[in-house]
């Protein structure tokens, strides 16, 4: 898992660096609700892809992907379900984020901005799901072929590189749509994207492997959206006050979320297979693995001078205090939430990860802000906050 997490943290660093850059782009300044959308959309997309990775991992470990007929039907059904979920949650996330922005910052928002927000969110979700869904299916099949447990690989990579791909697409789509904000382009694209939803509904209902998931998997995803919106509001409020937050927040939350996701996915697989998991050993291993990965992150951003942060001894100690506290919370919550849903008859592959990662996003973001306050962050840790 350590090698996978190091690869994952590289994706998270790139995502954090990209967020640090695009927050200054004109479209994100003109439509500040896009900043609120980012953590909500990343959480929703990450949940969908991690749910896919968890279902694929469980299916692989149970041998469901060994036969060509069942493998093809399972993968096609899950990719169709991913498109359906992405379009649905993308539309709701865009509208929800815009609504939060209007409540927090009442301005002269207009219909064109609403159409841009929803279209950008849906198009970004659909395109990134197409790319990442295919990648995850291929990755799990390769893991199965070489007898590698996909539980240790699929979820972390789905989360970290999913954030990077989603951010790239969201930024590109938003810039493109803003050029034509006064034209009907956004509205026409929105109508086309909405028209695809019933098409995917019909396709998914015909697949025996995902038809039930399509009915029951919406609750936790939208619950996670509401929870993650808190992180979005906090990020939008403090991203300019604490310049390094744009870089640090995705990595801190993403890495601890990966640790929790690995653990939850392993527990879910064990419960489905009827195998007893050695919880203490797994928790100890994941906790220890987390330390060198965090060290790699701190070393890389310090050497490259990313994020406008002066890494003094006090700042490093403060970051470690927040990171270690959050990873302990992540492991404890992963075990508790997974068993909670299992004991109540719900499949943890579909229910546990969305709730877990959204709660960790909120807790991590709040802890980060508290840490910045405690260290008088604005005075002792910012460096070049006004740089372009």
- Chain centroid, CA 175 distance in Å: 22
CA distance 32 to 107: 11
Place of tokens 């019933």: 198
For helices 313-343 and 348-374, what crossing angle results, to 10°?
Answer: 160
Average pLDDT, the chain: 82
Asked if 24 and 258 touch (Cβ cutoff 8 Å), the reply is no
For residue 126, is pLDDT > 50? yes
Place of tokens 């590289």: 10
The CB density around residue 133, as the number of other CB atoms within 10 Å, is: 25
Phi, psi of 182 (to 5 degrees): -95, 5
Asked if 284 and 388 touch (Cβ cutoff 8 Å), the reply is no
Among the listed residues 27, 8, 34, the one whose alpha carbon sits nearest the alpha carbon of residue 152:
8
For residue 82, is pLDDT > 80? yes
CA distance 140 to 9: 20
| Most confident stretch, 94-98, 153-157, 178-182, 224-228 | 178-182
More confident residue, 124 or 293: 124
pLDDT computed for residue 378 by the predictor: 46
Residue 82 C-beta-side C-alpha neighbours within 13 Å = 31
Least confident of 158-162, 176-180, 182-186, 356-360: 158-162
| Most confident stretch, 24-28, 179-183, 326-330 | 326-330
Average pLDDT (182-187) is 90
For residue 84, is pLDDT > 90? yes
pLDDT computed for residue 387 by the predictor: 43
Provide the token pair at 326.
């959050």
Asked if 116 and 186 touch (Cβ cutoff 8 Å), the reply is yes
Per residue in 200-223, pLDDT (tens digit) is 999 999 988 888 877 776 888 788
CA distance 148 to 150: 6
DSSP H helices in the chain: 2-22, 26-30, 33-61, 68-104, 111-145, 154-179, 185-205, 211-216, 218-238, 245-273, 279-304, 313-343, 348-374, 377-380
Asked if 323 and 252 touch (Cβ cutoff 8 Å), the reply is yes
CA distance 247 to 301: 9
pLDDT computed for residue 380 by the predictor: 47
pLDDT class for 155, splitting at 50, 70, 90? low
pLDDT computed for residue 151 by the predictor: 66
CA distance 374 to 111: 41
More confident residue, 10 or 370: 370
pLDDT computed for residue 388 by the predictor: 37
Asked if 160 and 254 touch (Cβ cutoff 8 Å), the reply is yes
pLDDT computed for residue 172 by the predictor: 94
pTM score: 0.76
More confident residue, 217 or 100: 100
pLDDT computed for residue 307 by the predictor: 61
Provide the token pair at 268.
């879910």
Query: What share of the chain in percent tops pLDDT 70?
Result: 90
Least confident of 102-111, 179-188, 330-339, 377-386: 377-386
CA distance 64 to 208: 13
Per residue in 259-318, pLDDT (tens digit) is 888 888 888 888 887 777 778 888 888 888 888 888 887 888 777 776 666 777 887 888
Average pLDDT (127-141) is 88
Q: Tell me 67's DSSP state.
A: S
pLDDT computed for residue 230 by the predictor: 80
For residue 385, is pLDDT > 60? no
pLDDT computed for residue 12 by the predictor: 76
């Amino acid at each position: 898992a350590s090698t996978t997490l190091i690869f994952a943290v590289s994706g998270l660093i790139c995502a954090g660096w990209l967020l640090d850059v695009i927050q200054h782009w004109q479209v994100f300044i003109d439509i500040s609700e896009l900043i609120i959308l980012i953590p909500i959309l990343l959480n929703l997309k990450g949940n969908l892809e991690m749910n896919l990775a968890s279902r694929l991992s469980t299916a692989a470990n149970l041998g469901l992907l060994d036969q060509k007929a069942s493998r093809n039907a399972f993968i096609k059904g899950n990719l169709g379900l991913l498109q359906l979920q992405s379009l649905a949650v993308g539309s709701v996330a865009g509208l929800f984020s815009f609504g939060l922005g209007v409540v927090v910052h009442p301005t002269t928002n207009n219909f064109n901005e609403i159409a841009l927000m929803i279209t950008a969110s849906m198009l970004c979700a659909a395109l990134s799901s197409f790319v990442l869904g295919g990648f995850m299916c291929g990755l799990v099949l390769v893991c199965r072929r070489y007898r590698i447990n996909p539980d240790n690989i699929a979820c972390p990579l789905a989360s970290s590189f999913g954030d990077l791909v989603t951010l790239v697409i969201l930024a590109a789509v938003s810039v493109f749509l803003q050029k034509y904000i006064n034209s009907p382009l956004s509205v026409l694209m929105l109508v086309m994207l909405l028209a695809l939803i019933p098409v995917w509904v019909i396709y998914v209902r015909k697949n025996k492997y995902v038809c039930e998931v399509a009915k029951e998997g919406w609750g936790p995803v939208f619950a996670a959206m509401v929870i993650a919106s808190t992180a979005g509001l906090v990020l939008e409020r403090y991203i300019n006050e604490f310049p390094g937050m744009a870089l640090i927040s995705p990595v801190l939350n993403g890495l601890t979320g990966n640790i929790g996701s690995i653990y939850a996915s392993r527990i879910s697989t064990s419960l489905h297979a009827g195998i007893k998991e050695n919880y203490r050993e797994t928790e100890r291993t994941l906790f220890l693995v987390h330390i060198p990965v965090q060290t790699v992150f701190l070393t890389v951003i310090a050497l490259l001078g990313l994020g406008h942060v002066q890494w003094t001894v006090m700042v490093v100690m403060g970051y470690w205090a927040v990171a270690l506290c959050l990873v302990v919370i992540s492991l404890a919550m992963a075990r508790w939430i997974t068993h909670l849903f299992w004991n109540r008859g719900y499949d943890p592959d579909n229910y546990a990860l969305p709730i877990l990662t959204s709660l960790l996003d909120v807790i991590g973001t709040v802890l980060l802000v508290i840490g910045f306050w405690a260290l008088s962050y604005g005075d002792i840790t910012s460096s070049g906050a006004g740089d372009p």
